[in-house]
Structure 1
Amino acid sequence: MKISLEALAMLDAIEARGSFAAAADALHRVPSALTHAVRKLEEDLGFELFQKVGRRAVLTAAGRTLLDDGRALLRAAGDLECRARRIATGWESELRIAIEGALDAAALNPIIAEFYANYGGTRLKLMYEVLGGTWDSLATGRADLVIGAVGDPPPGASYATRSWGTLEFAFCVAPHHPLADAPEPIPADLARQYRAIVVADTSRQLVARTAGLLDGQDTLTVPDIAAKAAAQRIGLGVGHLPIALAEREAAAGRLKIKKLDAPKPIAPLWLAWQSNQRGRALDWFVERLLEPGCAALLQRIED
């Protein structure tokens, strides 16, 4: 077989960093040795993998196909290594943590520092997921642990869950928005006349969820909660923000909190993980995150 996991990792590094020199540095190899290895692989395969575009090394169409499918093999090999290491030592080689996008991932840093100080052998990978994307990240294997999964888990899944408090939202508009001076509570028929700013659900396989939208309401979809708040500040639309963020923006005079006649329900949050996948790092984070005050910590918004 001409393709090895090492060869795929080499192609992945070159494509990600855009040059042989940068990839060689990341792989702790001499650039000339990396160049020779790629040329030898191209000779064995009978086709070119990279072409020069300006100063970057860019995959050919054939190289792209090889690497795109090969990355699935790299992920599978990584998962296999993780499972084997977990069986041998009880500690995962990597723990992937998905965090609901309305929470503050930076607030997790003191807990991560505590973990590293005592159990530094497991790599940690943090990612944001939104709405149903939290559950989807477990279903598709993107995450091992979800912090702040919103709403009920999808049916038929074998997830372990622990209640993790609630997330409250406030309806906000810019001070110069037409709804800023509207009598309260604002009727739904009036609110739906104005564009809503929404953060896209990050689900890839499960059905995407929506929250706080009114029937027939126009939407502007943005990538994250910071972009949502920014769009609402300049009056591009209206919408619900986490209460801590809404109160900070209102205190600074950048947004106004308004009451609706049908307010958005308070959302239950969960810690969740695959019930058949347990390791010592996962157990440590679950136990630590269930300590009093942790849920409130991640809902705190700081400048």
Structure 2
Amino acid sequence: MLRITLEQWRMFRMVAEHGGFNQAAAQIHKSQSSIHSAVAKIEQSLDVKVFSVDGRKTKLTAAGEMLLRRANYLLDEAEKVEAVGHTLALGVEASLRVAVDEVFAQQVLYQALEATSQKYPLLRIELIESILSGAHELIENNQADIAISPIHLPNGFNEHLCQVEFAAVASPTHSLHLLKRELTLEDLKSCRQIVLRDSAHTKRSDSGWLGAHQRWTVSHLRTSIDMISNGLGFAWLPVSSIKEELEQGVLKRLPLTHNAKRTSSLYLVFQDEDRLGLGARTFIEQLRRLCEVASAST
């Protein structure tokens, strides 16, 4: 029989997080005496001191810090169990949040979303478009249920979904094409490069930047395509996103001596499979099927 309840551990965590009993009481709408009682129960049951009082400050002891790490894990797992139970009770979830890197093939995405919506027409789908680390961060912060990301999730599910081919392109009227020869890295560095801004709020990446003397950073792939189509710079762009521009001659591949093509992997990532509802599972099945078809046709 456990001597300490989850609620007592939760009160302990709130005191630690908010720096005092009064502050914790205000946050969780409990009386200060009930929080004092919960912490005292922990200390008595374990025969250890978890807080020390320094003037008006309440600080964790070394033992308290160790217990807090374990309590955080315990409380997080308890929340997951409840979430799984809630999902099982509902059967089909009310909403699905999908974070997708903008370089992922749009037609594949749209088809997967449509097939899911056809099966579950009342499912509300929120599509969050991201760049580089953005989808990964959304999953880590529990702001998305599923992500298509170029970055692995350290403590979650990761499955290779597809390869994305990038081509170095510019407008046919761009000065690089007017050189009418193979181009080197130094040629590119002398021109303006259009770079996509990482949509993550922390740990941003500048993947793909050459260190060009001129650099414009934009937030969306479509903005980059439009700028380059108008002769304002060059970039490596996903081929699946610029097929029409290449066919119409609005964009033209740069004749590079090296690295004219690049590839990047995209991964299907999520935190916990047990928490996914029927809508999410259907969407994942459609993604896998459509990516296999697209891969077989290339």
* Alignment match, 2:226: 230
Which protein has the larger Cα radius of gyration, Structure 1 or Structure 2?
2
Pairing 1:274–2:271 present: yes
Q: Deviations over 1:161-209 (max 9, x none)?
A: 211110001111112211013355411111011111122110123x112
* Alignment match, 2:160: 163
Conserved 8 A contact 2:101-2:132: yes
Does the C-alpha gap of structure 1 residues 265 and 110 become closer, same or farther in structure 2, counting only changes over 3 Å?
A: closer
Worse-matched range after superposition: 96-105 or 159-168: 96-105
After the TM superposition, which residues 92-111 of structure 1 pair with which residues of structure 2 at under 5 Å, given as runs? 92-105=93-106, 107-111=108-112
- CA RMSD in angstroms comes to 2.9
Distance 1:136 1:245 in 2: 24
Deviation at 1:265, TM superposition (A): 2.9
Distance 2:181 2:138 in 1: 39
Does the C-alpha gap of structure 1 residues 216 and 254 become closer, same or farther in structure 2, counting only changes over 3 Å?
A: closer
Does the C-alpha gap of structure 1 residues 255 and 105 become closer, same or farther in structure 2, counting only changes over 3 Å?
A: closer
After the TM superposition, which residues 100-249 of structure 1 pair with which residues of structure 2 at under 5 Å, given as runs? 100-105=101-106, 107-147=108-148, 149-150=149-150, 152-153=151-152, 157-205=154-202, 207-249=203-245
**Among residues 254, 276, 293, which one is paired with 1:258 in the alignment?**
254
Conserved 8 A contact 1:82-1:92: no
* Alignment match, 1:35: none
Q: Deviations over 1:54-81 (max 9, x none)?
A: xxxxxxxxxxxxxxxxxxxxxxxxx999
Distance 2:211 2:264 in 1: 20
Say how many residue pairs are matched. 216
Q: Deviations over 1:248-303 (max 9, x none)?
A: 21321212211323415310111111136332222221122111546739xx9xxx
Conserved 8 A contact 1:173-1:238: yes
* Percent of residue pairs identical: 23
| Letter of the 1:116 counterpart | S
Does the C-alpha gap of structure 1 residues 95 and 290 become closer, same or farther in structure 2, counting only changes over 3 Å?
A: same
Distance 2:183 2:152 in 1: 32
Distance 1:101 1:170 in 2: 15
TM-score (norm 1): 0.63
Pairing 1:285–2:283 present: yes
Does the C-alpha gap of structure 1 residues 80 and 229 become closer, same or farther in structure 2, counting only changes over 3 Å?
A: farther
Distance 1:171 1:293 in 2: 24
TM-score (norm 2): 0.64
Does the C-alpha gap of structure 1 residues 131 and 173 become closer, same or farther in structure 2, counting only changes over 3 Å?
A: same
Deviation at 1:217, TM superposition (A): 3.8
Deviation at 1:144, TM superposition (A): 0.8
Deviation at 1:228, TM superposition (A): 0.6
Q: Secondary structure at the match of 2:132?
A: coil
After the TM superposition, which residues 85-96 of structure 1 pair with which residues of structure 2 at under 5 Å, given as runs? 85-96=86-97
Distance 2:263 2:144 in 1: 25
| Letter of the 2:87 counterpart | R
Does the C-alpha gap of structure 1 residues 292 and 118 become closer, same or farther in structure 2, counting only changes over 3 Å?
A: closer
Structure 1, unmatched stretches of 5+, are 1-78
Conserved 8 A contact 2:103-2:241: no
Does the C-alpha gap of structure 1 residues 104 and 269 become closer, same or farther in structure 2, counting only changes over 3 Å?
A: closer
| Letter of the 1:286 counterpart | I
Does the C-alpha gap of structure 1 residues 159 and 80 become closer, same or farther in structure 2, counting only changes over 3 Å?
A: closer
* Alignment match, 1:28: none
| Letter of the 2:126 counterpart | K
Conserved 8 A contact 1:158-1:275: no
Distance 2:246 2:107 in 1: 22
Structure 2, unmatched stretches of 5+, are 1-79
Does the C-alpha gap of structure 1 residues 113 and 254 become closer, same or farther in structure 2, counting only changes over 3 Å?
A: closer
Conserved 8 A contact 1:81-1:93: no
Conserved 8 A contact 1:198-1:221: yes
Conserved 8 A contact 2:169-2:237: yes
* Alignment match, 2:52: none
